[in-house]
Amino acid sequence: MVRDAAREARLLDAARAGDPAAFDRLVDPFRAELQAHCYRMLGSVHDAEDGLQDALVRAWRGLGGFDGRGSIRPWLYKIATNRCLTLIERRGRRELPTDLGPGAPLAETAWLEPYPDRRLGLADLEPEARSVARESVELAFVAALQHLPPRQRAVLVLRDVLQFSAGETALLLDATAASVNSALQRARATMRARRPDRSQQAALSDVGESGLRRLAARYASAWEQGDVDEIVALLSEDARYSMPPLHEWFEGPAGIRAFLIAKPMRLRWRFLPAQANGQLAFGTYLWDEDRAAYRSAGLDLLALRGGGIADVVSFLTADLTMFGLPEEIPN
For the segment 284-296, what is each residue's pLDDT rounded down to a tens digit? 999 999 999 999 9
The verdict on residue 33 lying in a domain is yes
The verdict on residue 132 lying in a domain is no
pTM (two decimals): 0.92
Q: Please report the sign of the dihedral spanned by the C-alpha atoms of residue 28, residue 30, residue 33, residue 38.
A: negative
What 3-state DSSP class applies to 293?
Answer: strand
Number of domains in the chain: 2
The verdict on residue 179 lying in a domain is no
The verdict on residue 46 lying in a domain is yes
The verdict on residue 8 lying in a domain is yes
DSSP states along 165-189: -HHHHHHHHT--HHHHHHHHHHHHH
Domain termination site, one of 92, 117, 150: 92
- In this predicted model, what pLDDT tens digit does every residue of 35-84 receive, in sequence order? 999 999 999 999 999 999 999 999 999 998 898 788 999 999 999 999 99
Domain termination site, one of 92, 122, 154: 92
User: What CATH number corresponds to the domain at position 35?
Assistant: 1.10.1740.10
What 3-state DSSP class applies to 93?
Answer: coil
Domain termination site, one of 40, 69, 92: 92
Of the chain, the percentage scoring pLDDT greater than 90 comes to 78
pLDDT at 1 (0 to 100): 41
The verdict on residue 131 lying in a domain is no
User: What CATH number corresponds to the domain at position 302?
Assistant: 3.10.450.50
- In this predicted model, what pLDDT tens digit does every residue of 306-325 receive, in sequence order? 778 999 999 999 999 999 99
- In this predicted model, what pLDDT tens digit does every residue of 97-149 receive, in sequence order? 999 865 555 667 899 999 999 999 877 778 888 888 889 999 999 999 999 99
The verdict on residue 319 lying in a domain is yes
* Domain with 72 in it: 1-92
- Provide the greatest CA pair distance for the chain: 66
The verdict on residue 24 lying in a domain is yes
